[in-house]
Structure 1
Amino acid sequence: MENQKHSENLNNSRNDQSEAAARKWFCRCLSILASLLILTGLVVVVVDPYFHYHKPFSFLSYRLYEERYTNDGISRHFDFDAMITGTSMAQNFKPSEMDELFGTNAVKETFSGAGYQELSENLGRALKRNPELKTVLWVVDYNGFLRDYDWKQYEDYPTYLYDDNPWNDTAYLFNKSILYHGVFSNVRMTLSHTPSTTMDEYSSWERDCGLDYILQSYDRENVTIPADTGFGPEEKAKVEQTINTNVVDLVSQYPDVTFYIMYPPYSICYFDALMLKGTLDRQLQAEQTATELLLDCPNVRLYNFFDQYDIICNTDYYCDDGHYNGEVNSMLLQMIAEDKCLVTRENYLEKLAAEREFFSSYDYDAIYEQAGTD
């Protein structure tokens, strides 16, 4: 009996030791895991690839490339008094050229494929956070007038970067993609002495241009004809809601900010498509509605380049029927600085009439005959 009791005590002692060792191992693993998480979070905070917590450090190199991750951080922490914003039609603008022409300290916050609402919300956050922001160059996509006011091409956004809620920052601090594509990329650039992406380079692109490249994405023989090509009360109300909600309401809140708003000059092939679809008149009426709303805003200077035929009719500037190269961006910026193509209450109807006359009577077939593509 005594031997059995001794054996049981011995087993209990061993079990206790085993349980203690297991608890110790478990606690050690938890400590290591917690330490790794804390270290990871600290590394992300220090490197801060999307500028959520602080402005860039001079001793680090930064790769600026993911607009929907980076732009809000630029608004939060960069020093600037001017901004260039818009879709891909604005990506090749150079803030350095704007600074030279306007005497500003500009940043660029563009969003490829953005709708009006996305641009407006981002600009609203920037204006709220930065009282020094007094000049905005805003490219308002001409082909978006008749979209829903809240139209968006993308559904997934890193909204945890846009708000001031610290509790959802876990999606930033402990995110494998941000660690690999953001933190590690910046560290590699720093160690290899690669300079940071400049604001001119940020979001800019270079593509082959010319009619041959336009025709790779534009097939005039298979243009889809919409069921309704008219412009009635429903279409007018849609344009009014889009412009009022996303542009007029915002600029009215900041009367001391000057908004240089421009319609981007699409190529002659874009207007060819409007003619083939029978929607040129509808687009011009939408333009008139939007223009009248924008001209009611005293702090808006509106620019329309559809009479710049040397640009619009030169397919060598375009990679598709809408997107122009960086050379055009530079020309547009120069024209804005010179107040060329400024739209006013006195000239907007005349400009619309000239557009209707030119684009409705243009010999579009000649474009493709010269290229030997008809």
Structure 2
Amino acid sequence: MYLNSFISSFKRLFTSPVSAGNYIKILFTCFLMQSILVVSALVIHDPICLFFRTVPDGQLPSTAQQRFQNAAIAKNFGRRYNAVIIGTSLSENFSTDEMRRKLGVDTMNLSISGAEFNEMLTVLNYTLSRNPQVKTVFWGLLPRHVFASEHHAELPDTFPAFLYNDSDLDDLKAYFSKRFLLTPQTKDENDIWSWYSYYKSNGFFSRKCYFDSACLLMDEKIPPVDYTVDNIPKLEEVLTAHPDRTFYVFTPPRSGLFLNRHADEYHRALLALSTLLAYPNLRLFDFTQMRSVTMDISRYKDVGHYDAAANSAMVTAFAENRYRIVPENIDDALAQVLTYQRTTLADLGITDQDIAIFCAASAQAENKGHSKQSKQ
């Protein structure tokens, strides 16, 4: 009855003489219908699974927009898991299958390439609020997360904070962008963000790639951390708010050459993190001590990014409590970090000829780039 009444009213609207009032009504009705159709299409298409689209067990939705995608995973698929990984690209190669075997946890990886501290904190808080069954957190922190710059004291404008609040209505804003006019994709939950196989198969784990990034590092083109914002109080808030959850906080094993240039930053970050050891739900691990990894440049795509086997070694270390920091060994651990200041190129198997060749090639490529820009 109501449908017939609506249809009759709709017909009268379009068959009545077109007065100014009717004209406005027609425009408004067309706009409303178009809006409903667009919103319905977006929701039905739902490429990152923010609303209703489902994926098979063992699979997760996967797009290149990690900051958007992780919100959907935490919101709609988090119930599958009792653990979560939070970190940067350095945490993306963890095998959740291996973590299940060695640690007995079902883990979702919500790492974000290049993530800042407040981005990770927002993802973590949202995930824990939505998923009370998640009792274990693995959180990779770099010195720039422990002590951030003023520039990174707040969430960046590019971060979709509206996806991480208590309201689902404003989630629609995520789809009002051409970036999501794409085909829905899924990946195995075990390696949803893993990049190692791609880079390995494309020749990136080579001495040339390592030396190219080493040249930039040695030219001091990588800025030091600006120690102005202390995030330790925020970490304390998290640990205090979740006494029933266990937090595995760890410093990733960047290469020995990187640590040589940034030993002071890692020392200060580890010292600050050690002030949290009184919290019984914290387990702190320092993987800069994993010298079988840090001193082997064949394990690295560049001076910072290691192979998937390093992630596997960290899982084993979690299970065996290796490289764990406790009050009894913190002084020794801090001293070991500073020993990287004495690391030489020879210690890493790098010859002066290696550096000369690849730095010259890097400089030549840079000069060509400048020359090309000047001609444009």
Q: Normalized against structure 2, the TM-score is what? A: 0.77
For 2:32 and 2:56, the matched residues in 1 are separated by: 30
SS at match of 1:164: coil
Would the alpha carbon gap of residues 61 and 114 (structure 1) be closer, same or farther in structure 2, given more than 3 Å must change? closer
1:8 corresponding residue in structure 2: none
SS at match of 1:372: helix
Mapped pair 1:91 → 2:87: no
Deviation at 1:171, TM superposition (A): 1.9
2:47 corresponding residue in structure 1: 49
5+ long unaligned stretches in structure 1: 1-16, 190-195, 275-279
Mapped pair 1:223 → 2:220: yes
Would the alpha carbon gap of residues 315 and 151 (structure 1) be closer, same or farther in structure 2, given more than 3 Å must change? farther
1:157 corresponding residue in structure 2: 159
Would you identify which runs of 4 or more consecutive aligned residues in structure 1 move more than 6 Å?
21-26
2:33 corresponding residue in structure 1: 35
Q: Which amino acid aligns with 1:37?
A: S
Bigger CA radius of gyration:
1
Contact 2:147/2:269 (8 A) holds in 1: no
| Cα deviation code 1:95-118 (max 9, x no counterpart) | 222122222221110111112121
5+ long unaligned stretches in structure 2: 1-14, 357-376
| Cα deviation code 1:146-172 (max 9, x no counterpart) | 323754694322223222335534523
For 2:170 and 2:268, the matched residues in 1 are separated by: 41
For 1:84 and 1:284, the matched residues in 2 are separated by: 21
For 1:134 and 1:144, the matched residues in 2 are separated by: 23
Would the alpha carbon gap of residues 27 and 176 (structure 1) be closer, same or farther in structure 2, given more than 3 Å must change? farther
For 2:328 and 2:37, the matched residues in 1 are separated by: 63
Deviation at 1:322, TM superposition (A): 0.9
Q: Which amino acid aligns with 1:171?
A: K
| Cα deviation code 1:32-65 (max 9, x no counterpart) | 4433322332233334333333572549984343
Count the aligned residue pairs: 330
SS at match of 1:298: coil
Would the alpha carbon gap of residues 58 and 22 (structure 1) be closer, same or farther in structure 2, given more than 3 Å must change? farther
For 2:60 and 2:139, the matched residues in 1 are separated by: 28
Alignment of 1:33-182 (within 5 A): 33-54=31-52, 56-58=54-56, 62-78=61-77, 79=79, 80-148=81-149, 150-151=152-153, 154-165=156-167, 168-172=170-174, 175-177=176-178, 179-181=180-182
Contact 1:270/1:321 (8 A) holds in 2: yes
1:293 corresponding residue in structure 2: 275
Alignment of 1:246-265 (within 5 A): 247-265=235-253
For 1:199 and 1:271, the matched residues in 2 are separated by: 32
Q: For structure 1, which segment, 36-45 or 126-135, has the greater mean C-alpha deviation from structure 2 after superposition?
A: 36-45
For 1:221 and 1:170, the matched residues in 2 are separated by: 46
Choose which of 250, 254, 264 in structure 2 pairs with 1:266: 254
Mapped pair 1:205 → 2:205: no
Contact 2:250/2:285 (8 A) holds in 1: yes
2:6 corresponding residue in structure 1: none
SS at match of 2:231: helix
SS at match of 1:111: coil
Contact 2:267/2:337 (8 A) holds in 1: no
For 1:204 and 1:36, the matched residues in 2 are separated by: 40
Q: Normalized against structure 1, the TM-score is what? A: 0.77
Contact 1:145/1:286 (8 A) holds in 2: no
Would the alpha carbon gap of residues 62 and 76 (structure 1) be closer, same or farther in structure 2, given more than 3 Å must change? closer
1:277 corresponding residue in structure 2: none
For 1:308 and 1:169, the matched residues in 2 are separated by: 42
2:303 corresponding residue in structure 1: 321
Percent identity for Structure 1 against Structure 2: 23
For 1:294 and 1:307, the matched residues in 2 are separated by: 19
SS at match of 1:368: coil
For 1:47 and 1:363, the matched residues in 2 are separated by: 55
